[in-house]
Amino acid sequence: MNLEAVRAIYMFEMARTMRTLLQSVVSPVISTSLYFVVFGSAIGSRMAEIEGVPYGAFIVPGLMMLTLLTQSISNAAFAIYFPRFTGTIFELLSAPVSPFEIVLGYVGAAATKSVVLGLIILATASLFVPLEIKHPFWMLGFLVLTAFTFALFGFIIGIWADGFERLQVIPLLVITPLTFLGGTFYSLDMLPPAWRTVTLFNPVVYLVSGFRWSFFGISDVAVGLSLAMTLGFLALCLGACTWMFRTGYRLKS
Amino acid sequence: MPDPESRAAPGAVISVSRLSKTYATGHSALKDVSFDIRRGEIFALLGPNGAGKTTLISIVCGLVNATAGTVRVDGHDIVRDYRAARAAIGLVPQELTTDSFETVWATVSFSRGLFGKKANPAFIEKVLKSLSLWDKKDAKIMTLSGGMKRRVLIAKALAHEPHVLFLDEPSAGVDVELRRDMWRLVRELRESGVTIILTTHYLEEAEEMADRIGVITKGELILVEEKATLMRRLGRKELTVELVAPLAAIPPALAPFGLELSDGGTHLTYVYETCASGAEEEGDTHSIADLLALLSAEGIAFRDLHTEQSSLEDIFVSLVRRDQ
């Protein structure tokens, strides 16, 4: 295994983040913090508790997941799309690096950034709302697994996209609405039965639910199902990624 | 049992065997191309635009999938044993594709890591100094001139100490001084044991540097030959004799030479192959001696003699036209 190459790609991507700290870290942290200020402190104090959890605290896992999903996808998608756009991808494709090593470098860096962002948001949230984490090991597990899975999804989008617009389409028009409608701000029990059934087709529900369980021990769906859905999506992404490299889809002619 | 057609010739660092590439559009960019690159040589691959030069390089370097055929680098198949094959190769692409926001040092160090080599600041420093980039090591690439960016691409290709270097149109868009600098660097690399394969539109460049020449056109390799042999075999010489007194017509005794009379009868021109019909070079010398003796015998006095030899460019143009 070419570990030096994995390290080089990983460090290259992390250095890019450090160069764009305002955009990469400060901006998502501020925008997520605004949700806490509005929903947690201002509106949250007038909302009833949900299954014994204050509303301000209840939305923390969902908001972390919102940032985690969008940032994982954006970071990884941009990381692989930009070399394709500028043409510098020739170096990656002509290097003695396997597809697995390329993915590990890019997706690892994107997932790292998202996990760090998630933890910063968690620390920021604890300034506004009282928080306790019932299952810290599982919380970290879901955080890392989700970040890695969606960074891989973003990597696939970065290979698929043939323009900057397409690069933004999935995170903005698919992931963000699904996250908002996936129980970020509410429990599924608060929905009418018909809508609850519809919502169960939203894969983000399972991610938010499992993550929230790790915080408060409450969930909309069984935690095992949440884990299985995440692993299933990871397997799907791995399959798509393998196919892309095997066929050279949008990478080689 | 190894495929006899994919067996590399002794001393070959790259062996291309029956290589073909047809793109999804149906365009056939390479047609059954076979040749070897010898270890330590400078090989110039010449051809008009769209001839298949970049496709050929791209297949060897792993950027394009071949439709058929095999390529071995250092004995390693580029598909089955791609790690070992690619580790041996450095590629300087035709386009100035660089990471604009990176510094020179960072991007060259990244290239070394990508090829699996541990960080070696002393080596990177040596490469940057040899390319006159040392004082720009902390500059962002976007602030560099086109020529400097070309040097950065060469530095990136050399960062992992390859022993085969592909230079795809290295002189495109660079000034004369940089071109001369690059020629010097290429010679130094060859002396250190690096095999160089270059494509170029500047025939002067190939004539100046190459040991062997390959000519590709319409996806077919029509010739691979030692540069000196090629120029001797296909080159033409032109002898112009400036006469003291103008001639009204060429005397019948001189007819076998196929001379041309010009400038009001004051110049006689004799065009001959440098190694016509497989004859030895001395044969041509005799012909000229015969011509001069005949001129003297006919009482034709001359004031001056002037010879010109065809360049690689003339040979290339004639080869490509012949193929068309």
The answer to whether residue A92 scores a pLDDT higher than 50 is yes
Minimal CA separation from A19 to chain B, in Å? 9
pLDDT digit string (tens) for B2-15?
444 445 566 789 99
| 8-state DSSP, A37 | I
The pLDDT of residue B280 is 43
Q: Name the residue of chain B whose CA is nearest to A8's CA.
A: B113
Q: Where are chain B's structural domains?
A: 4-231, 235-323
pLDDT digit string (tens) for B209-251?
889 989 888 899 988 888 877 776 666 778 888 998 888 888 8
The answer to whether residue A174 scores a pLDDT higher than 50 is yes
The CATH classification of domain B235-323, taken from the options 3.90.1210, 1.10.10, 3.30.70, 2.40.160: 3.30.70
Mean pLDDT lowest among A143-147, B29-33, B304-308? B304-308
Minimal CA separation from B175 to chain A, in Å? 23
Q: How far apart are CA B110 and CA B130, in angstroms?
A: 19
The pLDDT of residue B44 is 92
The pLDDT of residue A45 is 72
The pLDDT of residue A14 is 93
pLDDT digit string (tens) for B78-92?
999 999 999 999 999
Mean pLDDT lowest among A173-182, A208-217, B58-67, B123-132? A173-182
B106 Ramachandran zone, left/alpha/beta (phi>0; psi -120 to 50) = alpha
DSSP, collapsed to helix, strand or coil, labels residue B97 as coil
Q: Name the residue of chain B whose CA is nearest to A11's CA.
A: B110
Mean pLDDT lowest among A75-89, A229-243, B217-231, B277-291? B277-291
Measuring CA to CA, how many Å separate A64 from each of A74, A144, A207, B49?
15, 12, 11, 54
Contact B62, B50 (CB under 8 A): no
Q: Identify how many contiguous H helices and E strands chain A contains and give both numbers.
A: 12, 0
The pLDDT of residue B5 is 45
| B4-231 and B235-323 in the same fold | no
The answer to whether residue B150 scores a pLDDT higher than 50 is yes
pLDDT digit string (tens) for A101-125?
999 999 999 999 999 999 998 998 8
CATH class given for the domain over B4-231:
alpha beta
DSSP, collapsed to helix, strand or coil, labels residue B29 as strand
Asked if the C-beta of B79 comes within 8 angstroms of chain A's C-beta atoms, the answer is no
pLDDT digit string (tens) for B249-273?
888 888 888 888 888 889 988 887 6
Contact B323, B222 (CB under 8 A): yes
Q: Give CA torsion, residues B203, B209, B212, B217, to 10 deg.
A: -20
Contact B149, B97 (CB under 8 A): no
Give residue ranges of A with CB < 8 Å to any B CB: 2, 4-5, 7-9, 11-12, 15-16, 19, 86-88, 90-98, 248, 252-253
Q: Name the residue of chain B whose CA is nearest to A5's CA.
A: B114
* Among B280, B248, B275, CA closest to B261: B248
Q: Which of A123-132, A151-160, B242-251, B313-322 has the highest mean predicted lDDT (pLDDT)?
A: A151-160
Instruction: Give me the helices (H) in chain B, please.
Output: 53-61, 82-87, 104-114, 121-130, 146-158, 176-191, 203-209, 227-234, 281-297, 312-323
The answer to whether residue B276 scores a pLDDT higher than 50 is no
Q: Where are chain A's structural domains?
A: 3-247
Measuring CA to CA, how many Å separate B23 from each of A62, B55, B66?
47, 10, 9
Of A86, A94, A98, the CB nearest to B61: A94
The pLDDT of residue B96 is 84
Of A11, A87, A95, the CB nearest to B86: A95
Q: Identify how many contiguous H helices and E strands chain B contains and give both numbers.
A: 10, 14
Q: Quick check: ipTM above 0.90?
A: no
Average pLDDT of chain B, as a whole number: 84
Within 14-33 of B, beta carbons closer than 8 Å to A belong to 23-24
The residue behind tokens 């019932």 is A134
pLDDT digit string (tens) for B179-200?
888 888 888 889 988 999 998 7
Minimal CA separation from A233 to chain B, in Å? 29
Cβ–Cβ gap B98/A96 under 8 Å? no
What does the block give as tokens for B2? 């190894």
